[in-house]
Structure 1
Amino acid sequence: MFKNAAKPKATFTLWILLNRKLATVDRLAKWGMALNKTCVLCKNVDESLDHMFLHCHYVGEVWERLLQWIGNHSNRPRTWAQFIQWSIQNGKGKSTRAQLFKMILAEGVYALWNERNKRIF
């Protein structure tokens, strides 16, 4: 029912995230680009991959609402290793619950990345 329900762009963005290759401000700064380093979503901390997807208050609220909506009450991960384990644990298998989690994860990451980009560009 939910197999491949996430848009290809969302699945690709999730793949880039899981490989830690998203072009966040800290990554672009390493390439010599001069940018405003403040997270455009919470405006409190410098943007990094870990901040954006694990620690940002704005992103945390989005994840809490999405997970609550699908009835997943697991604790949100706080470290990258926990994020990977959480993604595997909740997305493993072909059950409807696992398929729904994978779709929400991919679409959630994609929506957050797009919101971040809209606020910058």
Structure 2
Amino acid sequence: MYISLLLIYQMMPWKSIVLHPIIHPRFKFTCWLAAWQRLATVGRLLKIGMHVPLKCSFCNNAMETIEHFWKNELLWVNAQAKGTSGKGTLVSCCFVTLVALLWRERNRIRFEQG
């Protein structure tokens, strides 16, 4: 009976990457927001009615969305980080750190130079 009362949640393939125990909590949080598509990208800001420049801060070609930033990369990293090997841990840590640092740089470009 207890099992039937449990809620069934969708498994998130990126969970083991984002929530790895040795990653800094600030970086985990930024990557967690990216994985849930909750970062304040231009696409998301437009949905809530804010008027902001549409171009990506890095390439100035495409509209800035989560998909444009790292949707495909998250899928690739998830495939590379399977298992408990040292390679998987290294890939996970590097990816989460990269996402957080890219987001910090994006904000610096957008708000200090714009």
Q: Check 1:34–1:85 CA distance in 2 against 1; reply closer, same or farther (3 A cut).
A: closer
What TM-score, normalized by structure 2, do the two folds share? 0.72
Q: Which of 48, 56, 68 lines up with 2:65 in the alignment?
A: 48
1:89 pairs with one of 69, 73, 79: 79
Higher Cα radius of gyration: 2
Gaps of 5+ in 2: 1-19
Ranges of 4+ aligned residues in structure 1 off by more than 3 Å: 82-85
What is the number of equivalent residue pairs in this alignment?
92
Where 2:51 maps in the other structure, the secondary structure is coil
CA offset at residue 84 of structure 1? 4.5
Residue 107 (structure 1) aligns with: 97
Match status 1:12 vs 2:2:
no
Instruction: Determine the structure 2 residue equivalent to 1:24.
Output: 41
Q: How far apart, CA to CA, are the structure 1 residues paired with 2:28 and 2:55?
A: 27
| Structure 1 residue 104: Cα displacement | 0.5
SS in 2 for 1:88: helix
State the TM-score, normalizing by the size of structure 1. 0.68
For 1:120, the equivalent position in structure 2 comes to 110
What's the CA shift string for 1:32-82, capped at 9, x where partnerless? Answer: 0010111111112221111122xxxxxxxxxxxxxxxxxxxxxxxxxx4x5
Deviation digits for residues 68-101 of structure 1, max 9, x if unmatched? xxxxxxxxxxxx4x54542322122221100000
Which structure 1 residue ranges, 5 or more long, are not aligned?
54-79
Take 2:67 and 2:75, find their aligned partners in 1: how far apart are those partners? 15
